Structure 1
Amino acid sequence: MLIVCILLEDGLTSRLSPASTVVILCYYFSSLWLIWKSSVQAGSVAGTVTGTLIGLVLLPAFASYFSRIERARAFAQVYCAVTAVLSASSAITMLLAIGGFTIKLLTFPIGTWSASLLFPFTTTVSQVSFFGFYFDRFTGIGREPGWMGMHSALAWTLWPHAFRGSLVSRVGRFACIAGVLTSGSTAGFGVFVVAVAMSLLISRRRSEGALRGYSRIVFGGAALGIAAWLAVFAPQYGLQAKQSVNSDSLEGRALATDAGLRALTEFSLGEQSFILTPNVNLIAGASVTGWPFFVLSVLGLLLPLAFVSHKGAALPPLVVIFLTMLLAQPIGGSHGVYILVMLVCAVADGDATRGVLWRGSHPTWAESSLANHRL
């Protein structure tokens, strides 16, 4: 219904931003590659074609919707607010669990898994050990905890560009941190601390003096170093802690990633893999999908940054998405990832013209670009 409303309102007259156009083209050519590869290797073409057709409807529709920056900002506000509310719920659920109260409201299937809804409205599919206690891992709007770690980190980086700096909005942003922690995702935690450090490094104010700018760079660089240390050695969330708790999972991911790296260095076009889960991340998936799909996917995630007016606003959120796909989650069939990339770019473009936007106007991407040129 949303797609129909968008097309009826904008038709084919909306001028898509260059960033959205790049995302759509990269998705299109990467999907064509998978279709051709499946047909040559006598694989299942029907599923790939169906997924491609869905993407070729969804992505242009959302790109058209985001072409008006005010609508993109409103969408980002809803996305961040929903993520914050669900993250706050997960924090409440964890606090109740610490007190010995776990209230299960219902159980429902997610694919081949069984998920539970806990009070107040926390969804979970598994548990994690945390300093001797077992807690339910937060899944939220993701299909598994690792995805929710990405969504929480992404909402945290998007927050200052979607909302004004009110007390309520700051509380909501803080709640997103709870979502990262309660997801129990090692990758989500690592990506989050990198995003925080990067935000400190590039968050420059117009009135910033030379000394303050130098201090920001020094502290930002130190924060990146601390982020790298935390990603490896942080209690419960670092790679070292993960290895002691769930070594089988890490070993499987390491084998799959190693196979993907070999495929990339050998410029393999992809072949049948004997690894149980070859598509655990974008690198690992290269052993099956080939280097062309890897390159096109990376371009679809990062190249749009070159066409964004306010690159400082877009970089941390795009890094969250890119690192999650590169190291932790499969990108195949994940249309929502590309939609989030287009959303980030649209909000960053709007951030460059915030003085115009907050006065209540509704410029398109083209109009905001013209305003930037005049400035």
Structure 2
Amino acid sequence: MVLSSSERALQFGRLFVGVTLALCASAVISAALWAAGNTLIVFEFFTGQWFAHILFPATPSIGSVWVNGTLTPRFSGLGREPGWMGMYIAFAAVAWRWVGRPRWWGYLLLSAGLLCTLSTAGFGIFIVVIAYEIFFRARSVESLGRRSARALAGAATVAGAVWIALYAPVVGLLAKSDVNVLSLEERSSVLNRGIVALTDFSLGESTGVANDGIGLIAASAPNGWPYFLLVSLAFLVPLIAAGNHHRPVAMVMVLYLTILLAQPPQDSTAVYALLIAAFAWSRPRFDIPIRDERIVGESSRETARWA
């Protein structure tokens, strides 16, 4: 109901980007204070699984990892854990141009907030999607030479991004094997089970493994290949059906890659709500009241049907 109106959808988009920017600014302040040795916990509460903290000025935090010998809190923001906030930040970064006027300082703030999540998956997906937006997204008017130059620069950037995702301190995969080896091993184990299930066209069976639904590929082991196919189609069919100039590819990429590799597709309502929002923001905006009986005249009816 909210997103069925272009005006309400736009308001929601601006609110989402604004709240994300504000939380990232708070996270940067909290990180600076923490690095300076000022532990400013406003309050804490138990979520039923772990303790969450609100750091000064207003930074939600769940969990912590060792960074250069210092136990550092992870920025969770709007998410139920830091990896979700990494997805929200990446989504806000590519959604901003659809709902407002992006600013360079805003992108810096989002990047800094992403680093505060210390999320490997969020970091990698962010780099890949931003590289797509800058170098591979088709422009309406562009020469072949310029397009080719951008593609070459994009390929080099993606190669560098892969290297960073592997070797970057703290958030790189190799660094994560040092600071959080249990998380990495758990995710690798369930991912391998999912790949086997897909290659064997399994209809699903109990795995007896905790967190076997982390990522759509992993969730294929307990749920079967039809589950993988149907969830994937929920993301891809609207993208294929959209007009060439109204395809929110980057926004869908953020959501689908996160669900595919890093977060559970089940009980993740916000992902599907943002998927609907992505198409609401990218559709042509017509202010014609199609169901308004006051529309009169043949030309008006024709225009309304076209809209």
Report the TM-score when normalising by structure 1.
Answer: 0.73
In the alignment, structure 1 residue 305 sits paired with structure 2 residue 239: yes
Letter in 2 for 1:212: R
Q: 1:311 to 1:301 in 2, by over 3 A?
A: farther
Residues 195, 316 of structure 1: 8 Å contact kept: yes
Change (3 A) 1:312 1:203: farther
Alignment check: 8 A CA contact 1:88 1:175 kept: yes
Offset at 1:174? 2.5
Shift of 1:312: 7.0
The residue that corresponds to 1:148 in the other structure is 85
Structure 1: runs of 5+ lacking an equivalent: 1-63
Match of 1:75 in 2: 12
Which residue, out of 236, 247, 268, partners 2:170? 236
Give runs of aligned pairs for residues 155-304 of structure 1, distance below 5 A.
Answer: 155-165=92-102, 169-304=103-238
Deviation by residue 1:33-56 (Cα, 9 ceiling, x = unmatched): xxxxxxxxxxxxxxxxxxxxxxxx
- 1:140 maps to a residue whose letter is G
Shift of 1:311: 5.5
> Residues 264 and 291 of structure 1 are in contact (CA less than 8 Å); yes or no, is this contact kept in structure 2?
yes
- 8 A contact 1:155–1:173 mirrored in 2: no
CA distance in 2, matches of 1:113, 1:274: 23
Does structure 2 retain, via aligned residues, the 8 Å contact 1:110–1:143?
no
Aligned partner of residue 67 in structure 1, secondary structure: coil
For 2:16, the aligned partner's letter is Y
Report the AA paired with residue 26 of structure 2.
Answer: S
**Residues 239 and 247 in structure 2, CA contact (< 8 A), matched pair in contact too:** no
Q: Give how far 1:90 is off.
A: 0.6
Separation of aligned partners in 1, 2:2 and 2:95: 18
Q: Distance in 2 between matches of 1:291 and 1:210?
A: 41
Cα drift, residue 222 of structure 1? 1.7
- Give distance in 2, aligned partners of 1:155 and 1:69: 18
Please tell me whether the aligned partners of residues 239 and 249 of structure 2 are also in contact (alpha carbons under 8 angstroms). Answer: yes
Of residues 276, 286, 306 in structure 2, which corresponds to 1:342? 276
Residue 265 of structure 2 is aligned with which of 307, 325, 331? 331
CA deviation after TM superposition for structure 1 residue 362, in Å: 7.2
Question: How many positions carry a matched residue from both structures?
Answer: 295
Post-superposition offset of 1:363: 7.4
Corresponding position: 1:121 with 2:55: no
Residues in 1 aligned to 2:246 and 2:283: alpha-carbon distance in whole angstroms: 10
1:195 to 1:154, Cα distance in 2 relative to 1, 3 A: same
Deviations 1:274-293 (A, max 9, x none): 21221121111111111111
Q: Secondary structure at the match of 1:66?
A: coil
Secondary structure of 2:226 counterpart: helix
CA contact (8 A) 1:116 1:125 kept: yes
- More deviation in 197-206 or 91-100? 197-206
Structure 1 range deviating more: 93-102 or 224-233? 224-233
2:66–2:72: 8 Å Cα contact kept in structure 1?
yes
Query: Do the aligned partners of residues 241 and 312 (structure 1) sit closer, same or farther apart at CA in structure 2, a change above 3 Å counting?
Result: farther
Aligned to 2:41: 104
Tell whether 2:251 aligns with 1:317.
yes
User: Given that residues 65 and 180 in structure 2 are in contact (C-alpha distance below 8 angstroms), is that contact kept between their aligned partners in structure 1?
Assistant: no
TM-score, normalised to structure 2, is 0.89
Distance 1:268 1:330, change over 3 A: same
Aligned residues of 2:65 and 2:179 also touching (Cα < 8 A)? no
Query: 1:175–1:241: structure 2 CA closer, same or farther, 3 Å change rule?
Result: same
* More relative contact order, 1 or 2 (CA 8 Å, 6+ apart): 1
One-letter code aligned to 2:53: S
Match of 2:27 among 76, 83, 90: 90
Contact 2:93 2:107 (8 Å CA) reproduced: yes
Q: Distance in 2 between matches of 1:94 and 1:312?
A: 38
State which drifts further: 67-76 or 154-163.
Answer: 67-76
Retained in 2: the 8 A contact 1:305–1:315? yes
**Percent identity of paired positions between Structure 1 and Structure 2:** 37
Partner Cα distance (1:73, 1:217) in 2: 31
Q: CA deviation at 1:73?
A: 1.9
How far apart, CA to CA, are the structure 2 residues paired with 1:109 and 1:71? 35
